[in-house]
Chain A
Amino acid sequence: MSIILIGMNHKTAPLNIRERLSISCEDNDALKVIKSISQVREAMYIATCNRVEVLASVEDVEKGLEKLKTFIFSHGNLSRGEMKECLYVYRDVDAVRHLFRVASSLDSLVMGEPQILGQVKDAYRHSVEQKASGIILNKLLHRTFHVAKRIRTETGIANNAVSVSFAAVGLAKKIFGNLRDKTVLLIGAGEMSELAARHLLNNGVNRIIFANRTYENAVRLANDFHGVPVGFDLLEDKLKEVDIVISSTGAPGYIVSEEMIVKALHRHKNRLMFIIDIAVPRDVDPAVEEIDNVYLYNIDNLQEIVDENLRSRIEEAEKAEAIISEEIISFTNWLNTLEVVPTIVSLKRKSEKVIERELEKSLSWMRNLTEGEREKIRILASSIVNKILHDPITSLKEESQNSGADPYLAAVIRLFRLEKGE
């Protein structure tokens, strides 16, 4: 019994190949086909926009692998040569490591992104529903979810924003602490500023005011976000009410001057103000930065934060790899004990039978005893047997951890005359 993992991801295969494979697999339930392969005992199929992978436990590695490859080639509608370049194959420990890394988002395009774990969980659920999972995959996947959770909580892999709009929200929190009673002014429109507005709303911002040169645009945005629309004529007036300003207009010159901010702050009782200028050319006079209690960030500043956060994620990834190595040991230990389990079970069953038979034989003289006394004798008999079997069973398990259990297994089977599958 071996675990194999075969697949391709954003690093090994170009989009058009991944696309063809994942679409064709969606059409005709891939898992059913994989399950019907005679070598495959258990299987799971993961398809996301960045990867297509098959995880399986097979009886014969070579044969199983060959058949799985054939399956993928035929489904991708691609030449063998084309596919071979993109395909990776992992076996046993490597397969486990790869799965752990995928679920912990170490193998993702944006390292630390949270979606992949949910996708792996969905794939596993699907496998369970199709009755394609068994003892090994069940244990492996539960272990995987545990590892992913550990990495998420014990390392900083998922900390710190790695997109400009999230970085802006992070900064706002660093300045104000709680965003609940804060008001945001969004000047102009644009994908990035709308995204930032959405994140700010999700983080509890109280109110968003939309200012636009074309009033209709402001109204449209305000409707989308349940905000307040204003024209540019009221811009200066509205600055007094707000804590966070996001500006992204296409204007050639500065829209927000130093004087406007000083005035706004004066009326604003010197509150803190966070200004995000993501427009190029800039909307906000850089001199604003010199004012006390005002924090001005432009697109480059935010990008720097993102870059630094990405670097720190890479550092955190090293810690995550260490956790994975640790978990792999404990999983392979479990996997190895799997081979001695049937023998241990039959050994125990045999000894139980012996006890049963001997007690039956002694029934004639035990008849004189009370029920309680007979029960005591029964307990005594089984505890003697258990004591005797305890050491050999422990040793078998220990040997299996070092994958050297085979000769001992053979010896136990021979010495105790165990029949296979007893």
Chain B
Amino acid sequence: MDILFFKIAFLAYFLSTIGYIASILVRRVVIAKTSTWILFSAFAIHTIYITFRWVKTGYNPVTNLHESLSFIAWVISGSYLAFQMKTKTRILGSFVSPLAFMLMIVASAGLGKVVSIPVILQGWWVAIHTILSLAGESLFALACMAGIMYLIQDNLIKKKKSYRFSRLLPPLGDLDRINHICVLWGFPLLTLGIIAGSIWARTVWGSRWQCDPKQVCTVISWFLYAFLLHQRLAIGWKGKKAAVLSIFAFVILLFAVVGVETFFVTMHSF
């Protein structure tokens, strides 16, 4: 039953991706609007799927790669839809929708597999740690995307070229706000996620901090986000610098989440 929901959501993500890309190619708002609705239904069905999984597995909806990716796709689409309601930034959808779809493709590889969860990963703290961290990371991903779009748009307006392309992108002010709100919300989520993780690490590994490469990378990027928030809130940073820093911080975070294992030996390999 839950697999069916995953498949329907998958299809809906696919359709909205096609729709968004088509809307850019033929420049028709109607198609983009329809795509937003399709994405919305994809999100709704995806929500049902995740709820099902949650009930089925008992306590933790996010344990393996399949679930993590599908969860990230869910958070990203959900946040985008929330922004869509607040600001007219439909074009962001043509970045978010394909991303969510790609995550779903990779996630579908592990579809339906019932993984026996190792004892070390059982417990409420793991669930809280993974859910909060992944939600925070997803918001940072969105912030990074808004930041990239900001830099593109900034460059187009500065260089006074390609007005046609610049017309497709949202206004700088909106992009900056999305970037800010995503960091603002993502930061406490990641912070709590890290705290939950360290509490649990103490119970399993005996100490809160292991100097593991993954932990180090995450903490570095956490400091970068903290710095960014401070500059924004206290100094009044806006625009380009904030965009650049949010992209840079996300690259490090991404390395912490997926890249570390290829280069270092880590005890946190999940």
Contact = CB atoms under 8 A, between A and B. Distances in A.
Interface residues on A, range: 20 to 34
Interface in A170-186: 171, 173-178
A145 interface: no
A305 B153 CA distance: 16
A308 to B, nearest CB: 6
A134 B95 CA distance: 53
Contacts of A12: none
A360 to B, nearest CB: 58
Most B-side CB within 10 Å, residue of A269, A270, A271, A308: A270
A156 to B, nearest CB: 7
Interface stretch (A46-54, A215-223, A289-297, A341-349): A289-297
Interface in B150-196: 153, 157-158, 160, 163-164, 166-167, 170-174, 176-177
Contact of B160 (A154, A173, A177, A301): A301
Contacts of A270: 235-239, 241
A297 B160 contact: yes
A312 interface: yes
B238 A269 contact: yes
Contacts of A400: none
B261 to A, nearest CB: 37
Contact of B158 (A154, A160, A295): A295
A177 B87 contact: yes
Contacts of A160: 163, 167
B240 A292 contact: yes
A123 interface: no
B27 interface: yes
Interface string B224-262: 000000000001111111000000000000000000000
B173 A175 contact: yes
Contacts of A289: 158
B164 A174 contact: no
Given A269-B235, A309-B163, A174 B171 contact: yes
Nearest to A290: B158
Interface string A301-330: 100110011001000000000000000000
Q: Is the interface of B mostly helix, strand, loop or mixed?
A: helix
A150 to B, nearest CB: 13
A177 B174 contact: yes
Contacts of A269: 235-236, 238
A293 B153 CA distance: 12
Contacts of B238: 269-272, 293
Contacts of B174: 177
A272 B170 contact: no
Nearest to B166: A174
A299 B263 CA distance: 54
A311 to B, nearest CB: 10
A176 B173 contact: yes
Contacts of A173: 171
Contact of B173 (A171, A178, A308): A178
B172 A272 contact: yes
Contacts of A308: 163-164
Nearest to A266: B236
A156 B164 CA distance: 12
A303 to B, nearest CB: 11
Most B-side CB within 10 Å, residue of A156, A178, A293, A297: A293
Nearest to A302: B160
A175 B167 CA distance: 11
Interface string A272-304: 100000000000000001001101010001001
A292 B241 contact: yes
A400 B166 CA distance: 50
Nearest to B161: A304
Interface in B206-222: none
A177 B171 contact: yes
A271 B235 CA distance: 11
B240 A174 contact: no
A173 B88 CA distance: 12
Nearest to B171: A177
B236 A175 contact: no
Nearest to B174: A177
B27 A156 contact: yes
A175 B173 CA distance: 6
A211 to B, nearest CB: 25
A12 B207 CA distance: 89
Interface of A: 154, 156, 160, 171, 173-178, 269-272, 289, 292-293, 295, 297, 301, 304-305, 308-309, 312
21 contacts: A173-B171, A174-B166, A174-B172, A175-B172, A175-B173, A176-B172, A176-B173, A177-B173, A177-B177, A178-B173, A270-B238, A272-B173, A272-B239, A292-B240, A292-B241, A293-B240, A295-B158, A297-B160, A304-B160, A308-B164, A309-B163
Interface of B: 27-28, 87, 153, 157-158, 160, 163-164, 166-167, 170-174, 176-177, 235-241
